[in-house]
Amino acid sequence: MIRKIALFGSTGLLGKPVTHALHEAGFVLTALVRNCQIVLRIITTICLILSVAFSCKQKEVTQPDPDETDYEETDSTTTDLKDAFELQDDWDYQSLYGIYLHESNTKGFTAILEILPDGNDLTFSLSVKQSGCNGQADGVIGMAIHTKTEYAGFFDNPECRMEFLFNLTQQSVRLEEVGFCRLHERGCNFNGVYIKKQ
């Protein structure tokens, strides 16, 4: 039986649970990724968790036998690695709601993004207009990544896949089409940084 698998999109919305399930099943995985920054964040988090877990194990091994030494017992808790990856379903997205304007809005080019609540995810409405090119998209952003300064989510539609990276400190959204998009005419795109309107 084949025990080695190469995964495309292992950091994506669907790729994460598939990657986890295959790893739990004992497969050797090779992850092929497009965005190295996301992978670096994940690897950093995993290394930190493993170093804490290893540190706790070292302390347990080096502690003397309680029957041989007289010392005061203290309550210690260990972190289960599975708990570190549990999904949180109560993220506060209120600061993300609103209207965002493309950083390059000028006479003859307009791109507007509106973000609204949708349970544990977000909905969006997006339009771009420029001479000879118009586009419109709307749908649900599946939120997948949460750090102190950034949230990331994905719009997974066969007509146009998009990645949304919310910068919490700058109140902006970097939007990037992933592959070919059929929701706008040729000659324009939805890509770019959108800044929240005050």
Tokens 């419109």 sit at which residue?
A: 136
Calculate the CA 53 to chain-centre distance: 24
DSSP 34-102: S-HHHHHHHHHHHHHHHHHHHHHHHHHHHSPPTTTS-----------HHHHTPPP-----GGG-EEEEE
Count CA within 13 A, CB hemisphere, residue 50. Answer: 6
Contacts of 58 (CB under 8 A, 6+ apart): none
Cα-based torsion angle of the residue sequence 176, 90, 12, 26 in order, rounded to the nearest 10 degrees: 170
Percent of the chain with pLDDT over 70: 68
Instruction: Kindly state the tokens that stand for 94.
Output: 């209120």
- CA 16, CA 86: separation in Å to the nearest integer? 12
Q: Three-state DSSP class for 50?
A: helix
pLDDT in tens, 14-70: 777 777 777 778 877 777 666 666 666 666 666 555 555 555 554 444 555 555 545
Task: Name the pLDDT band for 76 (thresholds 50, 70, 90).
Answer: very low
Contacts of 118 (CB under 8 A, 6+ apart): 140
- CA 194, CA 196: separation in Å to the nearest integer? 7
- CA 173, CA 54: separation in Å to the nearest integer? 37
Q: Which fold has domain 94-196?
A: Lipocalin (2.40.128)
- What is the average per-residue pLDDT within 182-188? 89
Residue 108 reports pLDDT greater than 60: yes
Report the mean per-residue pLDDT for the chain. 77
The predicted pLDDT at position 43 comes to 64
- What is the average per-residue pLDDT within 97-113? 89
The pTM score is: 0.57
Pick from 30-34, 56-60, 99-103, 124-128: least confident: 56-60
The predicted pLDDT at position 4 comes to 78
Residue 109 reports pLDDT greater than 60: yes
Pick from 15-29, 80-94, 102-116, 131-145: least confident: 80-94
Euclidean distance between the first and the last CA atom of the chain, given in angstroms as a whole number: 58
Contacts of 50 (CB under 8 A, 6+ apart): 81
- Domain assignments of the chain as residue spans, ordered by start: 4-84, 94-196
Tokens 């771009």 sit at which residue?
A: 128
CA 7, 145, 166, 128 torsion: positive or negative?
positive
Q: How many CB atoms lie within 10 A of CB 168?
A: 14
The predicted pLDDT at position 34 comes to 66
Tokens 């930190």 sit at which residue?
A: 48
